[in-house]
Amino acid sequence: MQRFAAKAEPHREKLRGGYYTPDLIAQFVAEWVLRAGNVVLEPSCGDGAILAHLAVDGVEAQGVELFAEEADKASVATGAPVAAGDFFSWFTPARVGSFDGVAGNPPYIRFGSWESESRDRALELMRGEGMRPSRLTNAWVPFVVAAVMAARNEGRIGLVLPAELLQVGYASQLRSYLVDNCSKITLVSFEKLVFPGILQEVVLLLAIRGEGPAEINTIEVPDAEALATVSLDSASTRAHLHETEKWTKYYLGPRAIELVRRVRTDRRLAPLRDFAAVNVGVVTGRNTFFCLTDVEATERGLTQWTIPLLARSAQLQGLSFNSEDLAFYADAGARTHLLSIKPSVDVAKTAALASYIAEGEDAGVDTGYKCRIRNDWWVVPSVSVPDGFMLRQVSTHVRLAANDACATSTDTVHRVFTKPGVDIHRLSVGAFNSVTLALSEVLGRSYGGGILELEPSECAELPVPDPAIVPDGLSSKVDELLRQRRFDEALDIVDHDVLIEGVGMSAEDVGDLRAVWDRMRDRRLARSKR
């Protein structure tokens, strides 16, 4: 095994971003769109999987495909005209609003892999619609905007999109655009992955062009085969005009959505940012070099140049991380030391440091991007000891824990810095309640592996009770219960003592929010078992 190994490079996606649509999905989307009329568009037709189901007798179907060879194949296979070239050059103002329907599976191309000339045209189209794209914007986003623009009033837009539509920040303006420019939106998702060999989750966006704010409903089916018998009639909820919020909440149903909306504006709770700042953990540039076990630090004579480290989220078992926890994981061989050399240290004068740094250079640690941009590659910046820690990636539930071990953390765990006068132990136990847990599922993001991820900005939005109302002794009691894995008992106590008795929320609302959290967590975790 390579010494100080770096993370494996991610497997490159096709640069063209083309993942061809399974036939059952292509047929379903095309047939739904054709109910709007017989003048239809496929803006990124690839091999013609969707276009083939659009180009039926009596239908005027037009395809567009960037790659000429693929365009020729699609035209021959479907009998429909296919324009070869960049869609955003082809889509002139004269074509706006000229189609009864638009169906497609837009390309998934990250900003840096996107051909700049085409990208510039696509982003300019978004700006023309009042949007502000960023360097995170993926190619599929402007395709969705263009599809809406291409459809006439009451026309239909049926697109196969990454499930990122529902929750990622770079799609927030797109969600607002769809809400404002569509009268009805149906989201069809799948319990199983439906693209062979690809871990990307997808959702079908079925939208009707019209005056917003849109009514939104969600349908979840087991797999593509279930589309043959699915009913799209389900309870819908009207979105708020200009709403940029994540759409995962629409899987809850109208009554629960209204409860979530109400609790988000409840002045008896406040966003976590009112009590603390949440920052990412230390970015070392190569954890395998900078994070050491107790044995490694001792044998190499480096202990005095290290500080205690919480290296993994699994090491947070309760509402605190203390010296006993640190010793336990050190004895178990965990990396509990972070190499933290001050810029003022002359490493050449310390044999242990000089030897270790030379070994890192022999292994190429200094050539990694984060290391090579530093003045001294071995000096890790922004090392500080926080008041607490917060999980970045969550399996069962979000957790805020007091830092009683005077440790720091790598970027797998966020660092929490309380504001003056705020007790981290009271804040930690107060944040462990059904409201905060439920809203973490709404504000965070989850992907195919079933893990909930919360960035610092999302953590900062979590509603929590004022730590000042938390009863004395509650933190240690709940910490002990969690370490004993008596999770439900601990949550019941905090809900009663803090939310009901302290904040004044009704037992019914608290119980309903517990059910919201149970449902969203279980839905998320079920996806990890596929």
User: What CATH number has the domain bearing residue 218?
Assistant: 3.40.50.150
User: Could you tell me if 50 and 138 lie in one domain?
Assistant: yes
**Cα–Cα distance measured from residue 525 to residue 146, given in angstroms and rounded to the nearest whole number:** 34
- SS3 at position 502: helix
Structure tokens at 294: 């107790």
User: Could you tell me if 410 and 498 lie in one domain?
Assistant: yes
Quick check: is 344 in a domain?
no
User: Could you tell me if 235 and 283 lie in one domain?
Assistant: no
Contacts of 332 (CB under 8 A, 6+ apart): none
User: Could you tell me if 41 and 175 lie in one domain?
Assistant: yes
Question: Across-strand partners of 414?
Answer: 390
Nearest Cα neighbor of 410 from 285, 279, 289, 283 is 283
Quick check: is 257 in a domain?
no
Amino acid identity for residue 155 in this structure:
G
* Contact predicate 84/68, CB 8 Å: yes
Q: How far is CA 194 from CA 29, 113, 221, 526, 529, in A?
A: 14, 25, 11, 15, 14
**Cα–Cα distance measured from residue 46 to residue 18, given in angstroms and rounded to the nearest whole number:** 7
User: Could you tell me if 40 and 143 lie in one domain?
Assistant: yes
User: Could you tell me if 228 and 94 lie in one domain?
Assistant: yes
Quick check: is 352 in a domain?
no
The count of domains in the chain is 2
- SS3 at position 293: strand
Quick check: is 296 in a domain?
no
Structure tokens at 390: 């917060």
Beta-strand ranges (E) seen in 258-353 are 270-271, 276-279, 291-293, 306-310, 320-321, 335-339
Structure tokens at 32: 């739904």
The number of beta carbons lying within 10 Å of the beta carbon of residue 523 is: 18
Q: Rounded to 10 degrees, what is the CA torsion of 381, 382, 385, 391?
A: -110
Domain ranges, residue 94: 23-251
User: Could you tell me if 247 and 309 lie in one domain?
Assistant: no
Structure tokens at 504: 């004044």
Quick check: is 260 in a domain?
no
User: Could you tell me if 68 and 197 lie in one domain?
Assistant: yes
Question: Across-strand partners of 453?
Answer: 393, 445
Per-residue model confidence (pLDDT) at position 19: 59
Per-residue model confidence (pLDDT) at position 12: 43
- Give me the residues of the chain with pLDDT under 70, please: 1-2, 6-19, 196-199, 448, 528-530
User: Could you tell me if 245 and 285 lie in one domain?
Assistant: no
Nearest Cα neighbor of 287 from 10, 1, 2, 7 is 7
- SS3 at position 338: strand
Quick check: is 354 in a domain?
no
Quick check: is 356 in a domain?
no
User: Could you tell me if 224 and 325 lie in one domain?
Assistant: no
Per-residue model confidence (pLDDT) at position 193: 76
User: Could you tell me if 394 and 447 lie in one domain?
Assistant: yes
pLDDT digits (tens, 9 = 90+) for 358-374: 999 999 999 999 999 99
* Contact predicate 111/136, CB 8 Å: yes
User: Could you tell me if 317 and 191 lie in one domain?
Assistant: no
Per-residue model confidence (pLDDT) at position 103: 98
* Contact predicate 453/393, CB 8 Å: yes
**Cα–Cα distance measured from residue 45 to residue 78, given in angstroms and rounded to the nearest whole number:** 11
Residues in the chain: 530
Per-residue model confidence (pLDDT) at position 112: 87
Quick check: is 366 in a domain?
no
